[in-house]
Amino acid sequence: MITAERMAAVDENAAALGVPRKQLMESSGNAVAAAVRRVADPDDSVALVCGRGNNGGDAFVAARFLDDYDATVHLLGRPETISTDIARENWTALERAEYDSRVVRDSRDLDLGAPDVVVDAMLGTGVAGALREPERSAAAAINESGATVLAVDVPSGVDADTGEAAGVAVDADHVVTFHDAKPGLDDWDVTVADIGIPETAELFAGPGDRRVLTRPGDAHKGDFGEVLVVGGGPYTGAPALAAQAAMRAGADLVRVACPRAVAREVQGFEAGLILRPFDGDRLTAEGLDHVRTLAADHDAVVFGPGLGDHEATLAAVGDFLADYDGRAVIDADALQVVPEVETEATLLCTPHQGELRGMGGPSADDWRARLDAVADFAADIGHTLLVKGAYDVISDGADARANRTGNPGMTVGGTGDVLAGMAGALLSTQEPVDAATLAAYANGLAGDRIVDRQGYGLLASDLLPELPRALWGGRDE
Ligand SMILES: NC(=O)C1=CN([C@@H]2O[C@H](COP(=O)(O)OP(=O)(O)OC[C@H]3O[C@@H](n4cnc5c(N)ncnc54)[C@H](O)[C@@H]3O)[C@@H](O)[C@H]2O)[C@@H](O)CC1
Ligand SMILES: [K+]
């Protein structure tokens, strides 16, 4: 099953892998024609009723595969208003090649004739809300035609994610949908057509995974959350890096809870950090009330950077998790506590492979085998895992993803703290598996860009100014 939003992300990832959408449209159109053949007799007449988006484009392509039928293409609206280049190019091809293609300027002009089969290619997954004119009248005409109706991707007017229609919708006999089943189409007779999207477009993080983020231009305060970093004690750079990464990843507000003994040092890394220190030189049961009160006021907590592995600290981490029910990224020494504690919290754990073994998790040399094993382990512990490596593997037990951005220059200390902080910012608004995927992708991409520019010799702090562009940079970079 795939949602419309995820489908758009996968489509963008496929394009980044070198399989552009126009190629997918050719496959979709071919699949639509094959579906027409299954329901039409050789002498049947076929009316293809097309909207101005890519759903219509699929039917323009299909027409070229239906030369042996009496087929007519009806475009709802003027050709100049076709909304994508690839759909327009396919429309122009129909006109030049002298297909029976008709422009319907007004819903009253739609004359379907008496077709045996109607292909409904008005609107697909790109649409929200009730059908507007001329699509609304066209849907009524299709429903009254008595023809066998084959819908392209989704019956026009129906929401592919929910199966609900906000108003008039096409009453389809069959649906040919692309790549994977859609959650809302259970009640229809659906054929899923493989359109040649590589498996790795779905598996590997890519530019499409950034679509879950609000673009900076449209962003408002409050679109992102407030993040609390709990760290520091034996180390001071780690919580500072994590907090700065959360800020660079767009968090509305980031605060750091660290031991008072190291607060000045942590502050010294960046004047803009907001510190909320607790007494002592490391986290122990004593600091816990303070941390609990703070955590309750934040959308996500990043737990672990620089905390160290003192017995009292690990016990405090366990006590915290035992009665925390919010969202948290768990990194570094805090990770070993996770398998031992019962918690209502939603955790995103970010171990490297050694830390994963320390959690009692699996090890495998081959990344695909590791992905399967990590998915099982994530299901076991009931939390999301992002296991860092040359190929990062990510799973919440249901979804499994991998990331291959990043380079050997990033084995330097601190890059994991940057990843954890960014993951915390993303976790405050996104599903854990999406936050993990995007954090891994952007962290690696930032590192790749630095190494492309200057070669190895990268510092973790070099990543920080690169993060915004890695998260929001041009879609086609
Ligand atoms: N990977 C993919 O996602 C692929 C998608 N393809 C096709 O592309 C479709 C999605 O294409 P688009 O994103 O261009 O979107 P659609 O073709 O679904 O709809 C966009 C058009 O609908 C109009 N519109 C929006 N809301 C409306 C309303 N309420 N009433 C009337 N008109 C409305 C818009 O102005 C625009 O012209 C899919 O359903 C599928 O058929 C395929 O070509 C191949 C691969
Ligand atoms: K449709």
Q: pLDDT tens for residues 465-477?
A: 999 999 998 544 4
Residue 314: predicted pLDDT: 98
CA distance 313 to 278: 13
Token duo for residue 320:
């915290």
312 Cβ contact partners less than 8 Å away, ≥ 6 residues apart: 282, 283, 284, 285
Residue 57, annotated ligand binder? yes
What's the 128 CA to ligand 1 centre distance in angstroms?
10
Catalogue the E-assigned strands of 238-364: 253-257, 274-275, 300-303, 327-330, 346-349
Residue 220: predicted pLDDT: 73
Which residues have C-beta atoms less than 6 Å from ligand 1? 7-8, 11, 21, 24-25, 28, 51-58, 83-84, 123-127, 129-132, 135, 152-153, 178, 195
Cβ neighbours around 85 below 10 Å, total: 11
Q: Is residue 33 within 8 Å of residue 210, measured between CB atoms?
A: no
What's the 175 CA to ligand 2 centre distance in angstroms?
8
Closest CA to 420 of 353, 329, 321: 329
What's the 227 CA to ligand 2 centre distance in angstroms?
42
**Which residues of the chain are modeled with pLDDT < 70?**
215-217, 474-477
Nearest CA to ligand 1 atom 13: 126
CA distance 435 to 225: 13
Closest CA to 304 of 296, 292, 316, 290: 316
Residue 333's alpha-carbon distances to 246, 404, 423, 460, in angstroms, are 20, 25, 17, 19
Is residue 283 helix, strand or coil?
coil
Give tens-digit pLDDT for 411-467: 999 999 999 999 999 999 999 999 999 999 999 999 999 999 999 999 999 999 999
Nearest CA to ligand 1 atom 5: 54
Residue 127: predicted pLDDT: 78
CA distance 24 to 449: 30
Residue 475: predicted pLDDT: 47
Which ligand 1 atom lies nearest to the CA of residue 58? 43
What's the 169 CA to ligand 2 centre distance in angstroms?
10
Domains of the chain: 4-202 (3.40.50.10260), 207-472 (3.40.1190.20)
Give tens-digit pLDDT for 343-355: 999 999 999 999 9
pTM to 2 decimal places: 0.92
